């Protein structure tokens, strides 16, 4: 992809994304009026879990508690039952309690607003930290999940081996005005068109900009 074409790609994706379901964490952000705690917990639940499962589990969990103090009072077994069948639900239940304890003891019950501080919380990686910063605090960040990593490399826009490398490459190259929306655009695009295996290249409005790096078979 030629550098100047990122503008065209973003314009096209902004139109295309209206046809697809919004990523679950964005839905939680709007429903909770951008409550950083609910965004943080729903993002933890979403890891390695389908959006529909995350949505249902988040709804059940937040009926029990919506603050760190209240959540810590919910027995871990009850949290496990509420969030099942999200991936690694037992581990995530432990992480949720650990996060709540840390928020109460170290941050006065408030979710920190920096990536560096968020990364000190149990079970929080760079993807989660960036989502909380962008969705919860409206601060610049680039959330790189597997879709963002795969598609950015498939386009030829960056050339990296891991999502962590992709985040740093995008921070250097992607215009800052696109940082906060990049994940919201590429996730549904990756779920519906630019799929991991056999992407729908014949239906893709971005095909003329894409170098198709690593694409062996497409539809």
Omega prior to 204 cis, within 30 of 0: no
Rounded CA gap, 103 and 109, in Å?
5
Positions marked active-site: 127, 145
Q: How far is CA 37 from CA 30, 66, 71, 153, 199, in A?
A: 13, 8, 11, 32, 35
Closest CA to 155 of 10, 2, 12: 2
Please, are residues 144 and 182 in contact by the beta-carbon 8 Å criterion? no
DSSP character string of 120-187: TSTT--HHHHHHIIIIIH--------HHHHHHHHHHTS---SSHHHHHHHHHHHS-GGGHHHHHHHHH
Please, are residues 162 and 149 in contact by the beta-carbon 8 Å criterion? yes
Q: How far is CA 19 from CA 16, 72, 135, in A?
A: 6, 39, 21
Domains and CATH numbers, the chain: 5-21+142-209 (1.10.1670.10), 35-137 (1.10.340.30)
Please, are residues 40 and 194 in contact by the beta-carbon 8 Å criterion? no
pLDDT at 24: 82
3-class secondary structure, 67: coil
Rounded CA gap, 160 and 184, in Å?
21
The number of CA neighbours under 13 Å toward the Cβ of 6 is 19
Rounded CA gap, 16 and 126, in Å?
27
pLDDT at 25: 87
pLDDT at 22: 86
Omega prior to 158 cis, within 30 of 0: no
pLDDT at 2: 63
Rounded CA gap, 36 and 69, in Å?
14
Token readout for 147 is 């879709």
For the chain, the residue count is 219
Question: In tens digits, what is the pLDDT along the chain, a chain of 219 residues?
Answer: 766 699 999 999 999 999 998 888 888 889 999 999 999 999 999 998 999 999 999 999 999 999 999 999 999 999 999 999 999 999 999 999 999 999 999 999 999 999 999 999 999 999 999 999 999 999 999 999 999 999 999 999 999 999 999 999 999 999 999 999 999 999 999 999 999 999 999 999 999 999 999 999 999
């Amino acid at each position: 992809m030629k550098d100047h074409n990122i503008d065209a790609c973003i314009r096209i994706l902004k139109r295309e994304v209206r046809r697809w379901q919004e990523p679950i964490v964005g839905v939680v952000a709007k429903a909770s009026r951008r409550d950083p705690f609910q965004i943080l917990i729903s993002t933890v639940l979403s890891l390695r879990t389908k959006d529909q499962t995350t949505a249902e589990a988040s709804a059940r969990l937040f009926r029990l508690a919506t603050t760190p103090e209240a959540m810590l009072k919910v027995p871990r077994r009850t949290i496990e039952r509420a969030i099942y069948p999200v991936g690694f639900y037992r581990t995530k239940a432990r992480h949720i309690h650990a996060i709540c304890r840390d928020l109460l003891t170290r941050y006065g019950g408030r979710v920190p607003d920096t990536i560096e501080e968020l990364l000190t919380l149990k079970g929080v990686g760079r993807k989660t930290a960036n989502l909380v910063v962008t969705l919860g605090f409206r601060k610049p960040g680039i959330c790189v999940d597997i879709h963002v990593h795969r598609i950015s490399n498939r386009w030829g826009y960056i050339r990296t081996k891991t999502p962590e490398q992709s985040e740093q490459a995008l921070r250097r190259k992607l215009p800052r005005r696109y940082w906060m929306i990049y994940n919201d655009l590429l996730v549904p695009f990756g779920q519906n068109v630019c799929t991991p295996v056999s992407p729908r290249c014949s239906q893709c409005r971005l095909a003329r900009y894409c170098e198709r790096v690593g694409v062996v078979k497409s539809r």
